[in-house]
Copies of this chain bind each other. A is one copy, B any other.
Amino acid sequence: MANTSSADKNSTGARSGPKLEQLLSAASNLMAREGYDQTSIRDVARETGLSLAGMYYYFQSKEDLLYKIQHRTFSSLLDEQEKTISEAGDAEEKLRRLVQNHLSYYTRHFNEMKICTFELQSLKGDRYKNIEKLRRRYFKMAAEIVGEILGPSGNRADRGNDARHYTLFIFGMLNWIFMWFDPKRDAPVEDLGEKLVHLTLHGLHGRRGQKQSRG
Chain A interface residues toward B at CB < 8 A: 35, 37-38, 118, 121, 146, 149-151, 155-156, 161-162, 165-166, 168-169, 171-177, 180, 185-186, 192, 195-196, 198-206, 209-210, 212-215
Contacts and interface: CB of A to CB of B under 8 A. Distances in A.
A165 B146 contact: no
Q: Interface of chain A, helix or strand or loop or mixed?
A: helix
Copy count, this protein chain: 2
Most chain B CB neighbours (cut-off 10 Å) among A174, A186, A205 = A205
A206 B149 CA distance: 11
A201 B201 contact: no
Nearest to A34: B121
Contacts of A196: 169
Contacts of A200: 199, 203-204
Given A37-B37, A166-B204, A199-B203, 10 more contacts: A37-B38, A161-B185, A169-B176, A169-B196, A172-B176, A175-B176, A200-B203, A201-B204, A203-B203, A214-B215
Most chain B CB neighbours (cut-off 10 Å) among A150, A165, A174, A195 = A165
A196 B167 CA distance: 11
A208 to B, nearest CB: 9
Contact of A165 (B168, B169, B186, B203): B186
A57 B166 CA distance: 47
23 contacts: A35-B121, A37-B37, A146-B204, A150-B204, A161-B186, A162-B195, A165-B186, A168-B180, A169-B199, A171-B176, A172-B173, A172-B174, A172-B177, A173-B176, A176-B176, A199-B199, A200-B203, A200-B204, A201-B205, A202-B202, A205-B206, A214-B214, A215-B215
